[in-house]
Every structure is written in structure tokens, then in C-alpha cells.
């Protein structure tokens, strides 16, 4: 190999400056043209490798075909005494990899500028039909003046044809060779590249997304300890978008999600579109007063909260007279928004536990013991609506005279001023509902089409069918004014559908909980509960401008009235639920782990670990060590953990690929291997309990609004256990495996039943006044369950015939205990020592209740027209 001081042709070698899988790079002096150059030499042990040699020569030809300010130029391709080398532009500065390793995440404006220049380089390459295939921070140089140079086209290839890849170019032929070379670098490989499939320009778009993510997060999106683990992450996991700096705007976050879509068909299709997005994002600091001069999002200075009396069960009232509906006019003449607090003991489903009347005068909310309350904002007291117990998901009629809600397996309505409740239609549960101007109700059920029914009652019909491309569950429908359409939330974002035909179209990606504001905006939130808004034209049903932050504080749920009043529920930053130990008298002791969005905790058989779901993830908490780890990588939707009987693995439901429905998987905590699929299911399958005796997994699935119970047998086949026209769910094996408890609404309400197993007959009713969430004591002597009052225990005999004792109330839920989770798996577990592992609301007292902002819509109207 070349040595310092050696002269090759007219190049004098100065020093070695780098080495990679495709060659050694030297600094040299071109004595003919009196300039410094870089000499890239193919290593001697590669020269006899025809594939390596072909790639080396291809790099020279491809570089010669490119002439762009952001791509290092080639000066010549030479061969001396069998040694081949490329003479190319020597780029001053440092690599992006070195910069990130030294400084971590880059300032937003600098990262966007570097990304824009990388996009311009890739755009020029792709215009010539060239794919880089090894874009990464180490192959991006930034000069002292800030100019970006994309280097090392050693793996580049032309594209445009179809068919299978040639063996010599397949990244999976030798991910790691004997000399350590990799055809593409694992953390930046696209999924199709890692699988050895044909690649095109979308492979570079994926790598571009990885590089942009790394600049903004200060860490790799898919970096793991080994190449194999990294490739598993590339194929199965999603980037940890939560690691992005808080000032990264929504426009750039959406660009990242599009660039890092695993399916090439759903990925950003042209790098030029990324360049345009980045140019617009970089222009925003000069145009948008919400941005600081450095390009970082400047948080609005918080407005002073209105001082006043904190009334128990009341509202901090300052000016009741501001509650009237104001006529339209010059927003400059309107008062600044006034903020008030309503103290309300909201139910567990805080985001769907309250509603605001269209005129902005009245709140309806679900309080303690699922009681529906009404509170006029010009009064001090809230009033319970008699007959509306067990309520969820309230919503107002357009004239405010009625409140719709769900209770006892049906949608019902009750006069706002009180009166008899009326049943509208059957529904196993609902995930939101909205009332049309012409007297219909659109509602969402779990794993069901969006449905519509007359508000006078009757049979509901399907409005929008479930489409795999936008998820398996719809929620939070919201009727547009004039019944112009219905907005609703799908798995991937907000969708707009016709009320007459049910035809739908995607409207906003990565957005939730849509609400139309009379200011001419759609208000929505992201997964982190930040509230955003975007202009929306009711005539054309089109968005205009870019979304922008609309509320300085996160909100778990919110509502907007026609008069511009805004109501939202506050949450505790960083998580709002605490895991606690509770004894049989109801005394609680919090665990040492930080609060989080936890539900459905499960103790391992030895009691040393906890698997708990939260925010589309499953966490494994090690009690002796006090550590918390994620069972599956970030971005993969995982739910409902269940330990195997030996405790070696955790069974769960997951969707590893966005376009696929949820399926059953299991994985050992801490295992480097990817999750293993147990059985494909045509619908949602929720695991609940393993039997040590029969080695079976009890689970339940959904067929529209109704549940059915199955068992997964050791040979991988599925056995039907309960398949009726009732809603049957949540099966759990007793420890000895000869009894099975489950929930059914066969009597007209949810009750807990026990059957002998595997006979499944006769069926014994063990609950007394309704019940859900059965959990067996570790010794099998008692069965625990929950109803509207609290946690109960009942003795169930293990003799020849089943018999049950009288249920005993152990302790009420109380304001400190988390309410029942409802239809799903139990939201608690029983320990061997007799204690219970439960989930408690961990919000600060000052965050409890609802916040009211009067004239909030004026803030939206003051936004520039382009926003």
C-alpha cells in the first residue's frame, strides 16, 4: 500500500486519512496541477476479488457522471503496477459522524440545512439514475463554511430495471465478510435492502431519514450492539420518535415518518419532496413569530392564571358575564382569553369522560362511580343526572337539549335538565359518538365499522367499513357543521368521510381526536397530547396552510364550543398513573418506578417482575433491581402482556407491520431474538391466561362488537371454548387449570362466570351485581373481580360440583384508586402474599379536573392566513 512521501504517477502521498470497507484513503498532492487531492486505493487483498473490483470501478464511473456542489468530484481513475485508485476532491472539515459523536444532537436550523444539502446531492444522483446505497453520517462531510459533501459511492448502483438483484449486489449475501466489509451499513439499510431485494431511490430516502433522525436525536434510529440485532430492529421496530428534540416541528416529524416507512410503497417517493419540506421548515423562523431566531420553537409565555377562589366541586369564577355567545367581528376588539378551572372527579377514560355543549354554557362529565354530572358554567354546583349511572363517553345534541352517553351495553340519551333516560341502540362499548343536525348519531365501537343510527332509536347500520390500510379500530367521530361530513380517528391519523355514502379520505397523518372549531380550524392532538390546529375550508373540505401548536399545555382530552370556549383535561407531565401495592383493607403503597401511562399489569410467577402495558408498549419492571426495560423496540404497537406459566416468556398482542392487523406473539424478556408469532388471527386476539396443566393459552377475540373465547393448544391449533351471540371475554384459568372464569353479558349486563375445564358446563354465576376483570388468587381459593363499587372476593369450590360463596367487598375504588378498565383484561393482579398490584391516578392535585378557556378561538383567528 502507499506510504507517506511515495509518488505515484504525479500524486505525492502525504498521509493516510481514512479506511473503510471499500478502500484506504490518503491525502496526496497533485504536483501537476498543484492541488491537494484524496487518493482512494482498493486494498491489495480486494484486488483479486472480481466483485470488489467491479464495485470500485463502478464508483469511479458513477462519480464521473455526477457534477454537483454537494458531491465530491472525481479527478481520475488510475492503475499502477496492479494497484487501482481513484483521485478525487479532498474535502475539508469533518464527517457528520464525528460531529454527532462529539456534540450529540445538532441545533435544529443547522441540522435542517445539512439535511437539505444532502437531499440536493441525492436528488442530483437520482436524476442520473444512481442510488448511493450506503448513505450514513460517516459518508457526509461538512466543510468549515457549512457546505455538505456526500462521499463514498462505493456501493452505488444504477436503477430503473426490475427483477431480482444480482447476487454480487445483494446486501444479504455477506452482511459481514471475512474482512468485515458490509454491503451497506446495517443501521442505515432500508428493510428491502436488508432483505436482499431490489432497491431503488427509496432506499436512499430511508437512509436519508436515518441520518436526519440521528442529527435531531443525537442517536441512531436503529443502532444495536450487533449487526443481527440491528437488522432485526430495521425490519421490525420503529424509530424512537420520542427521542427527538422538543423543538422539532410537526412538519419535520411527518417528513421523518414518511421517510422511515418500512413499506417502500408507503414511503416518501422522491427525495426532491424532502428538499422542499426542509426548505419550507427552514423558512418558518423568519415568518412565524412562534419560532425563535435560531429556528427553535419558542414556547409562548404562559398567561397568568386568573386568581380566585378554589371552590370544592366548583369553578374558579372571575367573570360570569363573559360566557355569553359573542357576535363575529374584529378579533382585535375581543377580549384576551380567560382561563378558569373546574374541579371534577373525572372517570378513568379522561379523554372521553366529558363534553361541552355547542353554546359553550354547559359541561357534562362522568364522575365518581361512573355517574353522569351536568355543570352550567354560570353556576357553582354540578348536578347528577339521576338514572345515568355507569355512563361513559357523553356527547351533546346540536341544540344542547339532550346528552347522549353509553351505559349497560347500549347508547342512551337523557335530557340535559334531567328526566327519564331513553335507550337508542345496542353497543358493546363505544369509542366516541357525535350527533348530526338532522337527528342521527354516528358512533365508533371497538374493532367495528363506524356506525350510524337515528337518535330516536332503532337498528344501527355500518357507515364506514374497517379498512386494513387505515387500521382496525375507529374512534372519536365528530360531525362537521351542516352535516358536511364526519371526522374520525383511525390508526394512522384523521379521516374525513361522507355521512351519506361512507366514502372516506385520509386528512391528517399522525393526528388524533379531531374537533372542528367555528374559527375555521380543525383542532387535534398528537400522541404526546400536544394540541394543534390547521385551517379547514368547509366549502371545499380541504386543509390549507400548515398545522401549528394551538395550546401551550398538553391535554388528555378537549372540546371546543361554537362560541370559542375551549375545555381541556390536564395531565401530569411524563405519565399520569402509578403502580401501587394495595392490601386487603385498601391501604396502598406506591412502587418506586416513575409514573407512566400504565394499564393491565401482570406479575411474573415468581413475583420478581412486572409486565405492564402503556402507550402502545409493554414494559418489564424488575422489582429487586428497580429497572424498567421495553419488551419490544420503540414504535411497535404492543398490548396485553401475559406471562407463560413458567415465567420464561411474555405473550402479547402486537402489530409489527403497520399494514398488518394485530396478532399473537411471545418473547423472552431481554432476548435478542425477534418476537415469535404464535398463530395468525383474522381478527383481534387478546391473550389472557396460560394453563400449566394443559399447556393452553386462553384468549378472546372480537367479531364486531361481540367477544368469543378460544384456547390456543400446544400444537398451535385453535379450539373454540365459548362462541355465542353474547359478548364473552376475559377468560382466566384457575391455578390448577380445572376451572375457567370469564365475563359475559348473557344476562343483559356484564357478570363473572366460572365453568369446569375442559367440560365448560355447567356455568356458575359468581358475581352478584355485575362484574368484570376476574383474577384468581395464587392458591386458587378465591376469585377476585371488580364492579362499580370496588374490588370483591368470592370463594369458588374446587370439589366435584362448582359452588360459590357470597361476594365480599374488600375495598371500594375510592378517588385514589384507578377505575376498572372495562371490557379488557384486568387492570390489576394478585400477589402470593395476598396484596394486589393496582394502578392509581398519579396526577398532581392541581392538575385534577377540567380547565376552561373563554374566547380561546380568538387565538386561532389571530394566526396568519397561511397558518
- 697-703 β-sheet, strand order: 685-690, 697-703, 706-712, 718-722
Strands 808-812 and 790-795 turn out to be antiparallel
Handedness of CA 337, 341, 342, 347 (dihedral sign): positive
- Whether the CB-CB separation of 740 and 722 falls below 8 Å is answered with no
Handedness of CA 586, 590, 595, 597 (dihedral sign): negative
Q: 3-state DSSP call for residue 819?
A: coil
Residue 470, φ and ψ in degrees, nearest 5: -125, 20
Q: 3-state DSSP call for residue 555?
A: coil
Q: Is 282 exposed, middle or buried (0-12, 13-18, 19+ CB in 10 A)?
A: middle
Closest by Cα among 365, 322, 328 to 346: 365
Residue 57, φ and ψ in degrees, nearest 5: -65, -35
Distance (Å, rounded) from C-alpha 801 to C-alpha 755? 10
For residues 373-384, one letter each, b for 16 or more C-beta atoms within 10 angstroms of the residue's C-beta and e for the rest, the string is bbbbbeeeebee
- Whether the CB-CB separation of 598 and 612 falls below 8 Å is answered with yes
What 8-state DSSP symbol labels residue 734? -
What is the number of other CB atoms lying within 10 angstroms of the CB of residue 781?
Answer: 14
CA angle 201, 206, 212 (to 5 degrees): 125
By annotation, the residues acting in catalysis are 134
Q: 3-state DSSP call for residue 315?
A: strand
Distance (Å, rounded) from C-alpha 379 to C-alpha 362? 10
Closest by Cα among 861, 863, 851, 867 to 566: 851
Distance (Å, rounded) from C-alpha 479 to C-alpha 50? 65
Give how far Cα 626 sits from Cα of 77, 282, 592, 616, 622, Å.
59, 43, 7, 22, 5
- Whether the CB-CB separation of 481 and 462 falls below 8 Å is answered with no
Length of the chain: 867
Distance (Å, rounded) from C-alpha 327 to C-alpha 682? 53
What is the number of other CB atoms lying within 10 angstroms of the CB of residue 448?
Answer: 25
Distance (Å, rounded) from C-alpha 352 to C-alpha 368? 14
Q: Please provide the distance, in angstroms rounded to a whole number, between the alpha carbons at the two ends of the chain.
A: 60
Distance (Å, rounded) from C-alpha 814 to C-alpha 203? 55
- Whether the CB-CB separation of 427 and 705 falls below 8 Å is answered with yes
Distance (Å, rounded) from C-alpha 516 to C-alpha 858? 14
What 8-state DSSP symbol labels residue 59? H
- Whether the CB-CB separation of 343 and 851 falls below 8 Å is answered with no
CA 114 from centroid of its chain's CA atoms: 28
Q: 3-state DSSP call for residue 250?
A: helix
- Whether the CB-CB separation of 783 and 793 falls below 8 Å is answered with yes
Amino acid at each position: 500500500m502507499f506510504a507517506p512521501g511515495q509518488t505515484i504517477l504525479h500524486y505525492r502521498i502525504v498521509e493516510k486519512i481514512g479506511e473503510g470497507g471499500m478502500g484506504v484513503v490518503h491525502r496526496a498532492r497533485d504536483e501537476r496541477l498543484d492541488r491537494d487531492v484524496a487518493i482512494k486505493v482498493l486494498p491489495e487483498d480486494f484486488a483479486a476479488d472480481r466483485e470488489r473490483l467491479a464495485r470500485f470501478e463502478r464508483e469511479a464511473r458513477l462519480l464521473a457522471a455526477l457534477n454537483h456542489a454537494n458531491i465530491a468530484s472525481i479527478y481520475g481513475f488510475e492503475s499502477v503496477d496492479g494497484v487501482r485508485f481513484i483521485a478525487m476532491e479532498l474535502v475539508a472539515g469533518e464527517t457528520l459522524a464525528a460531529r454527532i459523536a462529539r456534540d450529540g444532537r445538532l441545533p435544529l436550523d443547522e441540522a435542517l440545512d445539512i439535511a437539505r444539502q444532502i437531499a440536493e446531492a441525492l436528488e442530483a444522483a437520482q436524476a442520473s439514475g444512481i442510488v448511493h446505497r450506503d448513505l450514513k453520517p460517516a459518508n457526509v462531510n461538512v466543510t468549515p463554511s457549512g457546505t455538505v459533501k456526500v462521499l463514498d459511492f462505493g456501493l452505488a448502483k444504477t436503477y430503473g430495471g426490475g427483477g431480482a438483484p444480482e447476487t454480487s449486489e445483494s446486501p444479504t449475501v455477506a452482511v459481514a465478510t471475512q474482512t468485515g466489509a458490509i454491503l451497506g451499513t446495517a443501521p442505515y439499510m432500508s428493510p428491502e435492502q436488508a432483505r436482499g431485494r431490489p432497491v431503488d431511490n427509496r432506499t436512499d430516502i430511508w437512509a436519508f431519514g436515518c441520518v436526519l433522525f440521528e442529527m435531531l436525536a443525537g442517536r441512531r434510529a436503529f443502532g444495536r450492539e450487533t449487526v443481527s440485532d440491528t437488522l432485526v430492529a430495521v425490519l421490525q421496530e420503529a424509530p424512537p420518535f420520542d427521542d427527538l428534540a422538543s423543538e422539532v416541528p410537526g412538519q419535520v416529524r411527518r417528513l421523518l415518518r414518511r421517510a422511515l416507512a418500512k413499506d417502500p410503497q408507503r414511503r416518501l417517493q422522491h427525495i426532491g419532496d424532502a428538499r422542499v419540506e426542509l426548505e419550507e421548515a427552514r423558512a418558518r423562523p423568519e415568518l412565524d413569530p412562534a419560532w425563535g431566531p435560531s429556528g427553535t420553537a419558542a414556547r409562548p409565555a404562559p398567561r397568568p392564571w386568573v386568581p380566585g377562589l378554589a371552590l370544592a366541586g366548583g369553578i374558579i369564577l372571575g367573570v360570569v358575564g363573559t360566557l355569553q355567545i359573542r357576535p363575529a367581528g374584529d378579533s382585535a376588539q375581543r377580549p384576551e382569553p380567560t382561563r378558569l378551572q373546574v374541579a371534577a372527579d373525572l372517570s378513568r377514560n379522561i379523554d372521553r369522560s366529558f363534553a361541552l355543549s355547542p353554546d359553550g354554557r354547559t359541561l357534562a362529565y362522568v364522575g365518581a362511580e361512573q355517574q353522569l354530572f351536568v355543570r352550567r358554567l354560570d353556576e357553582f354546583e354540578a348536578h347528577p343526572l339521576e338514572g345515568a349511572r355507569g355512563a361513559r363517553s357523553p356527547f351533546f345534541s346540536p341544540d344542547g337539549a339532550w346528552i347522549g352517553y353509553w351505559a349497560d351495553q347500549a347508547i342512551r340519551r337523557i335530557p340535559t335538565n334531567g328526566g327519564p333516560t331513553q335507550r337508542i341502540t345496542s353497543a358493546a362499548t363505544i369509542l366516541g359518538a357525535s350527533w348530526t343536525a338532522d337527528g342521527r348519531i354516528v358512533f365508533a365501537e371497538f374493532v367495528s365499522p363506524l356506525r350510524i343510527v337515528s337518535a330516536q332509536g332503532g337498528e344501527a347500520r355500518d357507515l364506514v367499513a374497517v379498512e386494513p390500510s387505515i387500521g382496525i379500530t375507529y374512534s372519536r367521530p365528530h360531525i362537521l357543521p351542516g352535516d358536511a361530513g364526519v371526522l374520525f380517528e383511525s390508526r394512522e391519523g384523521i379521516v374525513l368521510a361522507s355521512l351519506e355514502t361512507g366514502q372516506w379520505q385520509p386528512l391528517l397523518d399522525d393526528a388524533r381526536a379531531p374537533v372542528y372549531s367555528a374559527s375555521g380550524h380543525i383542532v387535534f392532538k398528537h400522541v404526546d397530547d400536544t394540541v394543534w390546529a390547521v385551517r379547514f375550508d368547509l366549502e371545499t373540505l380541504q386543509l390549507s396552510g400548515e398545522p401549528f401548536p394551538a395550546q401551550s399545555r398538553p391535554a388528555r382530552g378537549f372540546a371546543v364550543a361554537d362560541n370559542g370556549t375551549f375545555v381541556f383535561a390536564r395531565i401530569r407531565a411524563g405519565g399520569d398513573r402509578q403502580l401501587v401495592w394495595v392490601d386487603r383493607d385498601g391501604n396502598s403503597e406506591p412502587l418506586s418506578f416513575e409514573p407512566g401511562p400504565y394499564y393491565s399489569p401482570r406479575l411474573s410467577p415468581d413475583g420478581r417482575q412486572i409486565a405492564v402495558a402503556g402507550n402502545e408498549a409493554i414494559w418489564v419492571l424488575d422489582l429487586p433491581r428497580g429497572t424498567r426495560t421495553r419488551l419490544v423496540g420503540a414504535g411497535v404497537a404492543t398490548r396485553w402482556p401475559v406471562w407463560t406459566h413458567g415465567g420464561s416468556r411474555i405473550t402479547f398482542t402486537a402489530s409489527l407491520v403497520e399494514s398488518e392487523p394485530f396478532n399473537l406473539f411471545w418473547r423472552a424478556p431481554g432476548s435478542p431474538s425477534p418476537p415469535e408469532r404464535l398463530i395468525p388471527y383474522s381478527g383481534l386476539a387478546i391473550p389472557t391466561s396460560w394453563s400449566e396443566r394443559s399447556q393452553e393459552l386462553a384468549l378472546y377475540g372480537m367479531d364486531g362488537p361481540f367477544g368469543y373465547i378460544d384456547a390456543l393448544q400446544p400444537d398451535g391449533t385453535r379450539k373454540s371454548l365459548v362462541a355465542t351471540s353474547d359478548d364473552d371475554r376475559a377468560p382466566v384459568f384457575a391455578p390448577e387449570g380445572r376451572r375457567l372464569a370469564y365475563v359475559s353479558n348473557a344476562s343483559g349486563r356484564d357478570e363473572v362466570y366460572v365453568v369446569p375445564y375442559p367440560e365448560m358446563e355447567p356455568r356458575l354465576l359468581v358475581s352478584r351485581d355485575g362484574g368484570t376483570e376476574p383474577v384468581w388468587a395464587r392458591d386458587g381459593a378465591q376469585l377476585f373481580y371488580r364492579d362499580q363499587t370496588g374490588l370483591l372476593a368470592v370463594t369458588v369450590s374446587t370439589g366435584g360440583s362448582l359452588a360459590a360463596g357470597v361476594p365480599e367487598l374488600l375495598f371500594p375504588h375510592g378517588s385514589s384508586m384507578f377505575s376498572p378498565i372495562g371490557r379488557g383484561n384486568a387492570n390489576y393482579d394478585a400477589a402470593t402474599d395476598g396484596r394486589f398490584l393496582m394502578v392509581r391516578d398519579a396526577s398532581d392535585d392541581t392538575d385534577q379536573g377540567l380547565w376552561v378557556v373563554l374566547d380561546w378561538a380568538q387565538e386561532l383567528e389571530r394566526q396568519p392566513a397561511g397558518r
